[in-house]
Chains A and B, each alone.
Chain A
Amino acid sequence: MDMLSEATKFITLDPAGIGFLFIVGFIGGLVSGFIGSGGAFVLTPGMMSLGVPGTVAVASNMCHKFPKALVGSIKRYRYGQVDIKLGLFMAAFAGIGVQVGIKIQNFILNAWGQAGSNLYVSVSFVLVLVVVGGIVMIDALKSSRNSCGVEQTCSLALRLQKIELWPMVSFKRANLRISLWFLLPVGLATGLLAATIAVGGFVGVPGMIYILGATSLVASATELVIAFVMGLAGSVNWAMQGMIDIRLTLIILAGSLLGVQLGAIGTTYVKEHMIKIVMGTIMLIVAVSRALAMPEYLGKLGLMDVSEATLALLSKISFGFMVLSLLTGAVIILGSMFKAKRALEPVSAEMEA
């Protein structure tokens, strides 16, 4: 086994490593079943901290993402929340976005080297998370004050829906009709972000809500279809290069298939704005985490003077914040499910009597 793992660049797994991957898989699954994306940003660095090479970590992570998204989207399709047509359109445009994203990455890598590339990833991470996460959070707080908790379609989406620019596309489940020209940038941005920071859902879901005018339930459920298509394509790509450690993938999958179904069930318990609250919270906490990782790249580029000890400490705190973001998401989801279930119990007890 040792010789084999050396020869095939795969690590030997210990029980602690297996336990860690299972738990992160479960919590990541729970969050993605609920908001449509998430978990990957902790799993990849988590695997790397166990000694897995970067490419193998990314590949194994991607290979667990698409079956998880498949199971989650089937579950949410049964609840009537998935718009398959919207998902396929978005996935097609996101596919183009990924290619553009890779070109940009390569350009930056050639011009400024690895540190420049890392800095670009971190800056886009922080910018997108702060801006989009902030918008989502403000909107979630506004709709939580609204006592009935019913979402309002924002005025931008309504205005865009009014523009009759050929070709128009109708989405039955999402209950909207919009020009292809507004769908395209949202899909492209999702792919571009997926290629840059590996979490395209952080713009895909808000994009579908605020630009196209889907509800957060439909947007988060449809994101799972996009994640499935893109994850499958990406996994085939990685598998062709022999980078997937199937044992790692299956361990994460063991936890995440449990989590993703629980998260999907959770969406039927809570008020719609909860999806926005969880998404906004996670995005803002991850933004802090990425901001803490920036001094390292700035140091390598010679733009900042930082000591090794400080960098090691910052990197640990940064990873801690990412774990914290997932845990916070999980606590909000499970907490609100528990609250909703308790509120429902007297009703079902009366019905049984």
Chain B
Amino acid sequence: MHANKKKPYGKLVAYGIGSGALYAAVYMFQDVIMANFARGGVYTALPIATVFLFSWIHGTFAGTLWQVLGIDAVKKAPAQATAQAPARKDTRPRATVNA
């Protein structure tokens, strides 16, 4: 879409390496991870924190990948097309001055 815009290759490579390293770490240490992550109790924080970390690193990598491939949002206008109910008229009696 934005051919004249510089593509974030550096960011893609950095987060790509980060994401790859995280997945490699999980694969290499899966015995320790599986033994500890499923203990429950206070260990609950481990899987939750892990998915947050992956969603940041791998999520940024994924987003940058689409950007580099040229797949980017086209219109960023807010989607406010809803029709609204007309405002109700104030029907209460009103004090007026009749000169």
User: Is A164's beta carbon under 8 Å from chain B?
Assistant: yes
The reply to whether B62 and A79 form a contact with Cβ atoms under 8 Å apart is: no
Hey, which chain B residues are within 8 Å of A151, CB to CB? 81
Binary per-residue interface labels of chain B (38-78) against chain A in the complex, 1 for a CB within 8 Å, 0 otherwise:
11110110111011101100110011011000011111111
Given contacts A67-B52, A75-B63, A236-B44, contact A80 B77 (CB under 8 A): yes
Q: Does B96 contact A (CB under 8 A)?
A: no
Give a binary string over B83-99; 1 marks a CB under 8 Å from any A CB, 0 the rest: 11100100000000000
Contact residues of A between 198 and 235, Cβ < 8 Å to B: 213-215, 217-218, 232, 235
CB-contacts of A42-97 with B (<8 A) = 63-64, 66-68, 70-71, 75, 78-81
Contact check, B48 vs A272: say whether CB atoms are below 8 A apart. Answer: no
Q: Is the CB of B38 within 8 A of A243?
A: yes
Determine if A309 is an interface residue (Cβ-Cβ < 8 Å): no
Report A118-161 CB contacts with B as 1/0, cut-off 8 Å. 00000000000000000000000000000000111100001101
Of the 9-residue stretches A108-116, A254-262, A286-294, A295-303, which lies at the interface with chain B?
A: A254-262
Q: Which residues of A contact B52 (CB under 8 A)?
A: 67
Asked if B71 and A262 sit within 8 Å, CB to CB, the answer is yes
Chain A residue numbers with a CB within 8 Å of B4 are 352
| 1/0 contact string of A237-254 vs chain B (CB within 8 Å) | 001111111110110011
Hey, which chain A residues are within 8 Å of B31, CB to CB?
1, 4
- Least Cβ distance of B85 to chain A in Å? 4
- Contact (Cβ within 8 A) A261 B48: no
Known A-B contacts A1-B30, A161-B84; the reply to A64 vs B75 at CB < 8 A is no
- Cβ contact within 8 Å between B85 and A272: no
- B72 partner residues in chain A, CB cutoff 8 A: 265
The listed residue (A64, A158, A164) touching B88 by CB distance below 8 A is: A164
Q: A8-B35, A161-B85, A257-B59 are in contact. Are A173 and B41 (CB under 8 A)?
A: no
Q: Bound state CA distance, A290 and B52, in angstroms?
A: 33
> Closest 4 CB pairs between A and B?
A80-B78, A67-B55, A242-B40, A217-B79
Q: Report A's interface with B, CB cutoff 8 A.
A: 1, 4-5, 8, 10, 63-64, 66-68, 70-71, 75, 78-81, 150-153, 158-159, 161-162, 164, 173-177, 213-215, 217-218, 232, 235-236, 239-247, 249-250, 253-254, 257-258, 261-262, 264-265, 268-269, 272, 340-341, 344, 348, 352
User: Can you list 6 residue pairs at the A/B interface with Cβ under 8 Å?
Assistant: A10-B34, A213-B82, A215-B79, A244-B47, A258-B65, A340-B74
> Chain B interface (Cβ within 8 Å of chain A)?
1, 3-4, 23, 26, 30-31, 33-35, 37-41, 43-44, 46-48, 50-52, 54-55, 58-59, 62-63, 65-66, 71-85, 88
